[in-house]
Amino acid sequence: MLHLGACTWIYGEAPLDEILRHIADAGCDGVELLGEPDRWPANEVRRLLERRDLAPLALTASCKVPETPRDLAHPSADVRAEAVAYLVQCLRFAVDVGAPLVQMLPSGESRLSPMTTREQEWRWSVEGMRAAAREAERLGVRIAVEPLNRYEAYLVTTVEEAATYLDDVASPWVGMTLDVFHAHLEERDVSEAIRAAGPRLWHVHVADTNRRGLGWGHLDVAALLAALREIDYSGALVLEVVPTGADATASGPPGRSTQIVDGYVRESVARLREHLSRDRQRA
């Protein structure tokens, strides 16, 4: 049975135990943790996950630029080295908390064009990912590359580009994440993109077409799950939803954004479980 989870970052800067309580109360059985190894001691994370009966499904490596010097495709060798070191740090943290996968972007998030040439920056990114993949193999933790839409990144925006990137990295420890929201902006057909990804699809982010909860847009959930069944997908379905017109990442006490996100996660988990239950009854 597929694990259903949610990303911690959608609840902003609230204390981790509070975030995990929201996610568990919404009906999730797992969680994707923000990849900030210096923020929380691993033993404390494990304790809190056990307390809430949540499985660690993955880590999200945060590569926003210029807020962080984490860009595998940057012209600066120092910045690229920092990005590789950060990814390795996330891999080690994943081992410590029991997460099987770290997802990473091939270039810095919010950088929308090359600073040199796309070809050169592609080569730099592939070299950095290969270096991290060697550590992933040593540790036994996988890396998943996530294509983002063209308004949030530029180097890898589609499943086809991600597949080419994986071909160039050429490591069995590097696969792919598909985010349904990004895919709806970039793919001609999301189900076909899933089929094209095939066994290299290791992780899935779920939101409706407007990045709200399932049922608030026009995502065909049945078609999505059918495509995943066709490729024998056995990873997690992780909700990454954002309230329209509100900043889900803003710091401060829980407010309207938290209530909206809670509703989206609860509704989405219920819809997914209903579809999955029907599928089991038909099988």
26 contacts 4 by C-beta, under 8 angstroms: no
- Spell out the SS3 assignment of 190-229: HHHHHHHHHHHEEEEEECCCCCCCCCCCCCCHHHHHHHHH
- Identify whether 146 is a catalytic site residue: yes
Q: Please tell me which residue in 32, 109, 240, 267 is annotated as part of the active site.
A: 240
3-state secondary structure of 41: coil
CA distance linking residue 45 with residue 50, whole number of Å: 9
β-bridge mates for residue 50, sequence order = none
CA distance linking residue 249 with residue 194, whole number of Å: 29
3-state secondary structure of 145: strand
Q: What angle do CA 196, 240, 126 make, to 5 degrees?
A: 50
Tell me, what DSSP letter sits at residue 109? B
β-bridge mates for residue 175, sequence order = 144
Q: Please tell me which residue in 36, 146, 186, 187 is annotated as part of the active site.
A: 146
Closest by Cα among 159, 149, 66 to 115? 66
* Residues with active-site annotation: 146, 240
